[in-house]
């Protein structure tokens, strides 16, 4: 059964200690009764006070205290209960460095999808919450990756305070990208790409990609499919899609995560939780249905095995 957020306002809510519930063997059934009313934010304040003294950061950091099945719900709740979207993104960034392999897509979505002023607040929240510097964690990440090199360039890009965009610069950069990519034999020239990404604002990069399509008749991302471009070309193509066509990017990420064709099973939680606050989730739902012929909530019901997560995500995505 799917629940909308509006239908939860009159729910029969009970003030229970969420952590206590999670520790018990029958937590699944009892938690399901608790999770649905959580969508009504004014009633969440009481639960905040019982979760590690109202400290939502500790709720996230103490995930190891939970059962394996409870970790998914812990992640959901620690994100949803946070009032500050910058703290939510900071937790998403911190999660990207956990479990061995670095989840660069989670970091890319922050640096491609947030304004520079928001990125600054996310970095401040990250430092306050985790006593670490986000940029330094990106730079120090091991092993080195093409995603990492492009991400470091985007980090530098966000430090630019240029708000105006230039059509002349966009044309010049588009021609440079062509000349060092599909306009010549061999692999793409990585140094040129990284220079452009580090010196231009996100808005300027988007104008460059739009100009590229106007001049050459196809998206820049399409030119990166050549096998000779290797891992760098593949990483660049995904990042360009996230920058240039974000709704299509997120719809594809959700579909791949739900249907199990990618290893990043946390993507469905990440995208829905971090995009639900704005109008983006509605646009993503529309694109998802157009591309894949099914409603997002139906895909979640079919693809998410954890019943509590499934109900909660359907409520938010709807």
Helix%, strand%, coil% for the chain, nearest 5: 70, 0, 30
Tell me what pLDDT residue 147 has.
95
**Paired tokens of 195:** 């220079």
Greatest Cα-to-Cα distance within the chain, rounded to the nearest angstrom: 66
Helix (H) or strand (E) holding 257: helix 246-259
159: CB partners within 8 A, 6+ apart: 116
Candidates 45, 59, 114, 108; CA nearest to 85 is 114
How far is Cα 205 from Cα 192, in angstroms, rounded to an integer?
14
Determine the straight-line distance between the first and last CA of the chain, rounded to whole angstroms.
12
Candidates 76, 57, 125; CA nearest to 271 is 76
Length of the chain: 318
304: CB partners within 8 A, 6+ apart: 258, 268, 310, 313
Reported for 227-234, long-range contacts at CB under 8 A and 24+ positions apart, including other chains, are 228/186, 228/187, 229/181, 229/187, 229/188, 230/187, 231/145, 231/146, 232/146, 232/149, 232/187, 232/188, 232/190, 233/187, 233/188, 234/146
275: CB partners within 8 A, 6+ apart: 250, 281, 284
Tell me what pLDDT residue 185 has.
82
For residue 281, the Cα-to-chain-centroid distance in whole angstroms is 12
**3-class DSSP assignment, residue 189:** coil
User: 285 and 317 in contact (C-beta within 8 Å)?
Assistant: yes
Alpha-helical (H) ranges within 97-229 are: 104-113, 116-130, 134-139, 146-157, 167-179, 190-199, 202-216
How far is Cα 60 from Cα 148, in angstroms, rounded to an integer?
25
115: CB partners within 8 A, 6+ apart: 202
pTM of the model: 0.78
**Cα 301 to Cα 3, 8, 74, 178, distances in angstroms:** 12, 19, 20, 43
How far is Cα 268 from Cα 103, in angstroms, rounded to an integer?
13
Give pLDDT < 70 ranges for the chain.
1-75, 77-78, 81, 160-162, 261-265, 276-279, 308
């Amino acid at each position: 059964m799917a629940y909308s957020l509006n239908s939860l306002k009159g729910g029969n809510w009970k003030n229970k200690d969420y952590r206590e519930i999670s520790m018990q063997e029958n937590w699944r059934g009892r938690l399901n009764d608790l999770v649905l009313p959580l969508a009504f934010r004014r009633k969440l304040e009481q639960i905040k006070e019982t979760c590690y003294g109202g400290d939502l950061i500790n709720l996230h950091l103490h995930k190891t205290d939970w059962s394996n099945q409870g970790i998914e719900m812990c992640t959901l709740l620690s994100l949803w209960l946070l009032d500050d979207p910058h703290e939510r993104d900071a937790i998403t960034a911190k999660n990207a460095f956990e479990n061995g392999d670095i989840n660069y897509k989670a970091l890319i979505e922050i640096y491609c999808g947030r304004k520079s002023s928001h990125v600054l607040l996310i970095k401040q929240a990250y430092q306050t919450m985790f006593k670490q510097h986000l940029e330094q964690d990106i730079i120090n990440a091991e092993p080195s990756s093409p995603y990492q090199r492009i991400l470091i360039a985007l980090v530098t890009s966000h430090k630019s305070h240029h708000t105006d965009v230039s059509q002349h610069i966009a044309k010049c950069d588009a021609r440079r990208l062509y000349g060092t990519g599909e306009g010549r034999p061999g692999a793409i020239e990585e140094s040129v790409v990284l220079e452009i990404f580090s010196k231009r604002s996100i808005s300027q990069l988007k104008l460059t990609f739009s100009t590229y399509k106007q001049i050459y008749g196809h998206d820049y991302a399409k030119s990166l499919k050549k096998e000779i471009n290797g891992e760098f070309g593949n990483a660049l193509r995904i990042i360009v899609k996230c920058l240039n066509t974000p709704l299509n990017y997120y719809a594809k990420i959700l579909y791949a995560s739900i249907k199990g064709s990618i290893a990043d099973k946390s993507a469905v939680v990440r995208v829905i939780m971090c995009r639900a606050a704005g109008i983006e989730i509605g646009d993503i739902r529309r694109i998802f249905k157009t591309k894949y012929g099914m409603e997002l909530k139906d895909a979640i019901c079919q693809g998410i095995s954890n019943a509590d997560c499934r109900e909660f995500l359907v409520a938010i995505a709807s």
